[in-house]
Structure 1
Amino acid sequence: MVVLRVGLTGGIGSGKSAVAARLAERGAVVIDSDRIAREVVAPGTEGLAEIVAAFSERVLDADGALDRAALGAVVFADEAARRRLEAITHPRVRARTAELAAAAGPDAIVVNDVPLLVEVGLAPTYHLVVVVETDVALRLERLARDRGMERAEAERRIAAQADDARRRAAADVLLSNDGSLADLHAAVDALWYDRLLPFAANLRERRVVRPARVELIEADPTWPRQYARLAARIRHALAPAEPRIDHIGSTAVPGLAAKDVIDIQLAVPTLADADGAFAERLAEAGFPRLPGEWWDNPRPPGSARWPKRLHGSADPARPVYLHIREVDSPGWRYALLMRDHLRADPDQRAAYLQLKRDLAAAAPDSVTYSTAKDPWFDEEHLRAEAWAAQTGWRP
C-alpha cells in the first residue's frame, strides 16, 4: 500500500514545528528529522564516533555527549565542514526515516519534518512539499525570544540555509506564518481536509483528478515552475532511467490563457516500455494510469491513429495529464511542434486564444471542447510545418 508522503520544511524560526504539531493533531504521522538527527549521534553511536573523528573532541560536552552549540559554531561558519557533517548524519537520518515511514499504517499520511529538505535536494522524493514562510524580522524576533539566540548567531543560521526564493521554487504549498497562531492553524486545517486527505485517498485508489468542465484562466507565470517540480518527481520515480520529459500544451506557451492543467510529455523507446513496472512506479509517485486505450488524432487527418499511454495526477489541487509517447513518433513530434510554433507566432497564438475562449463559452465539457478544436489544428499543423521548414526547427 502506498502512503502519501509529504515533505515539510521552512527556515529556522519560521514556525515549521507549529505546522507539524497541528498536522499531528489532525492525524498525520509526523517524522521529525531533527529528533532523528539527535538519535543517530547519541552517545555510543557510530554517528557520534564519526563526528569526533572528523571534528575532534572539542565538539563533546563534559559528559561525552555531542555539544550541538560547539558543533554549530564550527560548521555554520564553514561550508566544507557543514557538508562533511551532512555526509555523516544524512544517510543515517534517511535510513531511520525510511524505517519509521514503513511502520506507518496503510492509510497513513506521513509528514517528514525536514529543515534542510531543499538544501539537500529531497523535494522530488515526496508527493507534496509544504514550505512554511515567515518574514525574516519575525524569525529573528522568535529566535531571540524562544531560543535565546544572539542576533548575530541567528543571522548566520538563516544565511546558511536556502533563501525564501529557493524554498518557494520547491513548494507545492506555501504557508505564510506572518499572522497569528489561529491563522496558521486555519491554513493547516484547510490543507489537511481539502488536499491531503483526498490526495491520500486518490493515491490508494489509483484515481486521477480530471476536471469535468472547461474553465480558462489567465496565464499563470508559475506554470513552468510547477511543471519543473512535477518533472523532477517523474524523473525520481523512473530512475535510473533518464527519459526525455517536456512541458507541452497551452500552459507551456507564455501568455496563453488555458485550463489549469499541466500537460507533460514523457518519451519512451516503445509503448511496451510504458507498461508494467514503469506504470506502477508512476502510480506510486502520484501519477496513476488512466484505463483504456488512448491515442492522438493524426495530422493531416486520414491515417491511422497515433497511440499513446495517458496518466494523470492524484493531487486534487494540481491536475496533470502525462502523455507517454514513443520518441520520434509522429505524436511526440507534433506535440513539440505545436508548442514551439505557438510560442514563436504571436498571430496564431492570438487566434488560438480566441478559439479557446469561444469554445469554452459554448462547449464547457472537456470532451466537446477538445473535439471542437480539431479543425483549427488541422490547419495549424500545415502552418506549423511550413514554419518548421523555413526555420530549420527540430524537436
Structure 2
Amino acid sequence: MNRAYSEVALVPYDERWPRRFESTKKELRAAFSTDLIEHIGSTSVPGLSSKDTVDVVVGVPDVVRTLNPRTLSKLSALGFEYIPSSFAADADHSFLHRIIQEQRTDHVHVMRLGSDALQGRLLFRDYLRATPAAVIEYEQAKQELVARFHDRRDDYVAQKQPVVEALLEKARAWMKESR
C-alpha cells in the first residue's frame, strides 16, 4: 500500500513551508478565481512540528459550482487529486491532495466563503500563531498520537480531532476576549 495513505510522520518545523505554500498558491490561482487562498494547518504555525504536507484553504462562493469539470481538469493537470468521499456530507467543503513519490505534498480544502468550517480553520491557525502555550499543548498531543498510530493514518486523524476541537473552543474564547 502507498505510504501516503497509511503512514504518519511528524517532522520539525521547516522554514521552507511558507515558500512551498506560496508556490502552491500561485499554482492554484490558475484554477481558482478567488481572493482567499490561505496557508492553514500545522505547517502554517512557526515552531510547530507537522506532517510534511502543506495545508491550503481556498474560499469560494459555491463549492459545487466551483469544482466543475473544467476546474477539476486544471487541478488534475497540476497534480491534485479530487477526493469526493472526504467531507462528502458537507456541501460547503471539498478536499484535494497531491501525492508525489508516495509523499503527500499538499492538501487543499475548498470551502464556502463565510462558512463556519472555513472561519474555524483560520481561527485555529491564528490562535496557535498567537498562543505559545496552545502550540505546546497541540505539539504534545500530536507526538503522543503519532507514537501510537504512526502506521494507521486514519486512526491518527480521528484521534487528533477531539484535541483540535478542544483547542478550537479555547480559540473561540480567545477571539471573544480579543475583541
Scaled by the length of structure 2, what TM-score is found?
0.89
Counterpart in 2 of 1:344?
A: 130
2:95 to 287, 310, 318: 310
Structure 1 residues 231 and 310: alpha-carbon distance in aligned structure 2, compared to 1, 3 A threshold: same
Which residue number corresponds to residue 246 of structure 1?
A: 38
Between the aligned partners of 2:149 and 2:104, the Cα distance in structure 1 is: 23
1:290 aligns to what?
83
Matches of 2:95 and 2:83, distance apart in 1: 6
Q: Is the 8 A contact 1:313 1:319 kept in 2?
A: yes
Q: Contact between 1:217 and 1:257, CA under 8 Å: does it hold in 2?
A: yes
Per-residue Cα deviation, 1:76-102 (whole angstroms, up to 9, x for no partner): xxxxxxxxxxxxxxxxxxxxxxxxxxx
Question: Deviation at 1:319?
Answer: 1.6
Work out the CA distance in 1 between the residues paired with 2:91 and 2:136: 28
Q: Is 1:274–1:309's contact at 8 Å kept on the other side of the alignment?
A: no
Pick one of 217, 224, 229 that aligns with 2:11. Answer: 217
| Number of residue pairs matched by the alignment | 175
Contact 2:34 2:60 in 1 (8 A): no
Structure 2 residue aligned with 1:179: none
Cα pair 1:256 1:353 within 8 Å, conserved: yes
Alignment partners' CA distance in 2, 1:311 and 1:224:
19
Residue 383 (structure 1) aligned with residue 170 (structure 2):
yes
**For the Cα contact (< 8 Å) 1:247–1:264, is it kept in 2?**
yes
- Alignment match, 1:281: 74
State the match for 1:4 in structure 2.
none
Given that 2:40 and 2:122 are in contact with CA atoms closer than 8 Å, whether structure 1 keeps it comes out as yes
Say whether residues 1:368 and 2:155 are aligned partners.
yes
| Secondary structure of the corresponding residue to residue 292 of structure 1 | coil
Shift of 1:275: 2.0
Which protein has the larger Cα radius of gyration, Structure 1 or Structure 2?
Answer: 1
1:242: how far off?
3.2
Q: Whole-Å Cα distance in 1 between the matches of residues 51 and 156 of structure 2?
A: 11
2:53 match:
261
Structure 1 residues 367 and 349, CA gap change in structure 2 (3 angstroms): same
**1:258-294, Cα deviation, whole Å (9 max, x unpaired):** 1111111011101122322222221122212124242
Unaligned runs of 5+ in 2: none
CA distance in 2, matches of 1:220, 1:350: 17
User: Does the C-alpha gap of structure 1 residues 222 and 211 become closer, same or farther in structure 2, counting only changes over 3 Å?
Assistant: farther
Q: Counterparts in 2 of 1:159-178, with a 5 A limit?
A: none
> How far is the alpha carbon of 1:243 from its aligned partner?
3.7
Amino acid at match of 1:345: T
2:63 touches 2:111 (CA, 8 Å); kept in 1?
yes
Gaps of 5+ in 1: 1-207, 296-303
Query: Partner residue of 2:31?
Result: 237
CA RMSD of aligned residues (A): 2.1
Mapped contact 2:34–2:59 kept (Cα < 8 A): no
| CA apart distance, 1:256 | 0.2
Whether the 8 Å CA contact 2:64–2:91 is kept in 1: the answer is no
Q: 1:274 to 1:230 in 2, by over 3 A?
A: same
Structure 2 counterpart of 1:281, which letter?
K
Task: Tell me by how many angstroms 1:237 deviates.
Answer: 3.3
Partner amino acid, structure 2, of 1:378: E
Q: Which residue identity is paired with 1:313?
A: R
Aligned ranges 1:321-360 → 2 under 5 Å:
321-360=107-146
**For residues 3 and 97 of structure 2, what CA distance do their matches in structure 1 show?**
7
Partners of 1:382 and 1:231 lie apart in 2 by 29
Post-superposition offset of 1:318:
5.5
Alpha-carbon spacing, 1:249–1:306, altered in 2? closer, same or farther (3 Å): farther
Partner SS for 1:258: coil
Q: Secondary structure at the match of 2:4?
A: coil
Which SS does the other structure have where 2:93 is aligned? strand
Mapped partners of 2:59, 2:157: distance in 1: 23
Please say if residues 227 and 247 of structure 1, whose CA atoms lie closer than 8 Å, have aligned partners that are also in contact.
Answer: yes
Supply the distance in 2 between the matched residues of 1:361 and 1:236 (Cα, whole angstroms).
39
**TM-aligned CA distance change 1:243 to 1:210, over 3 Å:** farther
CA distance in 2, matches of 1:305, 1:314: 24
